[in-house]
């Protein structure tokens, strides 16, 4: 059986910016240290939550390289390397490999809306040009294309393709994928609200947005699932559903950066076309964070 790249919780870590809009590497280092201290099992750098779409290629490569070097083998580092241009995806993959990353995260080619055969050819082309294991990333709400279970079956036969971050929300697809691919193709939840149901079907953990602000919660949920304690894991997930929902009240990573800033983490703003969270949604987020103990209740002594 192929070993999964990691089991448990992995933050899809934000990319902090300074006041000028440049990457704030000092803050990035602090965020990494906090995640590792909380017990996460891996870190995913420069993915969707890391604002890969608005970083230049040079910034993207530099941020991955910094994360790998700073983590220094304390946990696995998964480098975002996806693109809708196959040659660009190879370029990012090879730079991530040179940096010493442990694995790659490759989103489906967005905007092109390629066929299932196009998906197979895209990923096999990349796999032939890197030595790193690949995690596929299925998020059709952003890309306009989804894998089928049959395509997962074909790709699972490639030794470089380790599994998939599944963010389609389609539990039927996950069930059929598990049936066709078995344990030789790992699945990780890409949706924080579906960690427990997906792990009950055999998923290995989560690549998480919520972990940015509450890594211990996601570690506790995933590790309880791995230990077969699904009732306790479900209780934790359900207790925090308002927080999970609030972190997606606007498109990710707008709310999670707002949340980190509310916590005093000072991760800066966003790059256009992303913009600041609306005042109304900021209050929704603040209230959820207060209810779950991430912020003091309004009116409490500071």
pLDDT single digits (tens) 6-63: 999 999 999 999 999 999 999 999 999 999 999 999 999 999 999 999 999 999 999 9
Report the share of the chain in percent with pLDDT over 70. 99
Phi, psi of 34 (to 5 degrees): -65, -40
Phi, psi of 115 (to 5 degrees): -75, 170
Specify whether the backbone of 162 is left (phi greater than 0), alpha (psi in -120 to 50) or beta: alpha
Length of the chain measured in residues: 302
pLDDT, mean of residues 256-273:
97
- Please tell me the predicted confidence (pLDDT) of residue 21: 95
Given the residues 152, 160, 165, 204, the one annotated as active site: 165
Given the residues 123, 137, 152, 160, the one annotated as active site: 137
302 has pLDDT over 60: no
Tens digits of residue pLDDT in 161-205: 999 999 999 999 999 999 999 998 999 999 999 999 999 999 999
Tens digits of residue pLDDT in 132-164: 999 999 999 999 999 999 999 999 999 999 999
- Please tell me the predicted confidence (pLDDT) of residue 145: 95
* pTM, two decimal places: 0.95
For this structure, is 137 an active site residue? Answer: yes
Strands of the sheet containing 161-166, edge to edge, are 8-11, 205-208, 186-189, 161-166, 134-138, 103-107, 76-80, 42-45
- Please tell me the predicted confidence (pLDDT) of residue 297: 85
299 has pLDDT over 70: no
The mean of the pLDDT values for the chain is 96
Provide the pLDDT confidence category of residue 301 given band limits of 50, 70 and 90: very low
Provide the pLDDT confidence category of residue 1 given band limits of 50, 70 and 90: confident
232 has pLDDT over 70: yes
């Amino acid at each position: 059986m192929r070993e999964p790249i990691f089991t448990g919780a992995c933050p899809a870590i934000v990319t902090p910016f300074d006041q000028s809009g440049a990457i704030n590497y000092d803050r990035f280092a602090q965020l990494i240290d906090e995640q590792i201290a909380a017990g996460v099992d891996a870190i995913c750098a420069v993915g969707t939550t890391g604002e890969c779409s608005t970083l230049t290629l040079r910034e993207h490569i530099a941020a991955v390289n910094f994360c790998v070097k700073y983590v220094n083998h304390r946990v696995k580092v998964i480098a975002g390397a996806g693109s809708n241009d196959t040659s660009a995806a190879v370029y990012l993959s090879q730079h991530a490999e040179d940096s010493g990353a442990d694995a790659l995260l490759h989103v489906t080619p967005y905007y092109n809306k390629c066929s299932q055969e196009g998906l197979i050819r895209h990923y096999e082309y990349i796999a032939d040009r890197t030595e790193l294991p690949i995690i596929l990333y299925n998020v059709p709400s952003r890309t306009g294309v989804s894998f089928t279970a049959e395509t997962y079956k074909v790709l699972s036969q490639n030794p470089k393709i380790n599994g998939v971050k599944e963010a389609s929300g389609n539990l039927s697809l996950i069930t059929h994928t598990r049936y066709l691919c078995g344990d030789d193709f790992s699945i990780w939840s890409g949706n924080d609200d579906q960690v427990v149901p997906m792990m009950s079907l055999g998923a290995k953990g989560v690549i998480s947005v919520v972990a940015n602000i509450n890594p211990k919660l996601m570690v506790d949920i995933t590790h309880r699932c791995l230990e077969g304690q699904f009732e306790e894991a479900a209780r934790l997930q359900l207790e925090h559903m308002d927080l999970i929902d609030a972190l997606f009240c606007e498109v990710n990573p707008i709310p999670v950066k707002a949340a980190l800033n509310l916590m005093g983490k000072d991760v800066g703003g966003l790059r256009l076309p992303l913009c600041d969270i609306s005042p109304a949604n900021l209050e929704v987020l603040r209230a959820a964070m207060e209810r779950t103990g991430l912020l003091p209740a309004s009116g409490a002594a500071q």
